[in-house]
Chain A
């Protein structure tokens, strides 16, 4: 369903891939995409080491973030990251290319084409990569006038509590739902609203797969479209008619 005022605060499409992409490749991407994304920022990791010989500081650039002038269209290109203190902990196992669209959301057709165009440029620079994970994530914040006295008026899911408990004043739930060979992370919870005299419920839907990812661009884009359709199905199943009226 198309809404006049969709509650999407951020839409994300992400490809995670094996291997690193060097600083020179990221710089090439920034140059190539400068017209659409004139604002370039680098993601830096700073590590401090101290020993008997004194303290050392290491600065490593591990990612690139490019933004449009109004900061609503963003892409990031990141390297894998391990624990900065040398512990065998992996923070981000794979490199990743992601596109984000902050509000106002421009619609799937426009957002997915932007991602496809940008990825084709990135892929030419970093070379073809085997994808480890494909994800489509939509973060919705439903702004509700006044206080939320009964969450069921706005969303069809809430925690099941023992009958003798009073109704919760706030809640946060994280569930994982299998969707064919993919999975959907569904995060639902009450949250503060940035609007005066409003409360909010966050509905964060992230659909991803780590298997059966095709090697051809066309196959990958088909998966994204399928995830988007499933995201819409989950969203519509989670909201009520009162909520739909808020977006019109």
Chain B
């Protein structure tokens, strides 16, 4: 009889990948694996706000590591600093929601496609949606990242002394076509 060889234990999602987990619905086999979970030690006493912020930041940073090899290192450091500031427990309003991982995933995938030379400013909208914004003089672009690659765009673009203003719902796949008539280089390219 062949014995299944042991694997060195890893941490990431990929480390749990195996020939069984990756195949959907095998007959006669449970679909979930036995897992144990890590609990933050700092929260042995109940501090729900800090715990929520800790978990949200950890989840985002671990997700970023999955695509880190495709992202600029300098931007990564800046992004982590922005996220830490957005989730500062000292400044936190308990009625707010930390960035939701689905929104962060959309944001990163959008950034991968856009590859802007100028990184965006970040803010937090309702329901844990991440807002990315670019300002260039009077020209403003704000993109609210929803889950599942959906985007809510609001912009003001001055072309020949007349402003065009718009609010559009789109997806990351269609973003370039949506912004193309407004010459988005004013937001994304370094001047």
Q: Within the complex, what minimum Cβ distance (angstroms) separates A231 from chain B?
A: 11
Which B residues, 117 to 149, have Cβ-Cβ distances below 8 Å to chain A?
149
* Interface of chain A, main secondary structure: strand
Cβ A104 vs Cβ B73 within 8 A: yes
Interface size on B, residues (CB 8 A): 44
Cβ A195 vs Cβ B67 within 8 A: yes
Contact with A along B41-52 (1 / 0, CB 8 A): 110000000000
Q: Within the complex, what minimum Cβ distance (angstroms) separates B190 from chain A?
A: 22
Cβ B17 vs Cβ A40 within 8 A: no
A139 and B41 in contact, given A71-B65, A191-B17 (Cβ under 8 angstroms): no
For residue B88, which residues in chain A have a CB less than 8 angstroms away from its CB? none
State the CA gap A229–B39 with chains docked (Å). Answer: 36
Query: Which one, A12, A42, A70, contacts B38 given CB within 8 A?
Result: A42
Cβ of B93 within 8 Å of any chain A Cβ, yes or no, is: no
Cβ of A122 within 8 Å of any chain B Cβ, yes or no, is: no
Centre residue among A74, A98, A135, A194 by max chain B CB count within 10 A: A194
Cβ B40 vs Cβ A100 within 8 A: no
Cβ B14 vs Cβ A172 within 8 A: no
Cβ A196 vs Cβ B172 within 8 A: yes
State the CA gap A14–B7 with chains docked (Å). Answer: 10
For residue A173, which residues in chain B have a CB less than 8 angstroms away from its CB? 19
Interface size on A, residues (CB 8 A): 61
Which B residues, 1 to 57, have Cβ-Cβ distances below 8 Å to chain A?
5-12, 14-15, 17-19, 22-23, 34, 36-42
Query: Which one, A45, A63, A102, A206, contacts B65 given CB within 8 A?
Result: A102
Cβ B9 vs Cβ A76 within 8 A: yes
For residue B18, which residues in chain A have a CB less than 8 angstroms away from its CB? 172, 174, 187
Cβ of B58 within 8 Å of any chain A Cβ, yes or no, is: yes
5 contacts between A and B (CB under 8 A): A98-B8, A143-B70, A183-B5, A189-B17, A194-B108
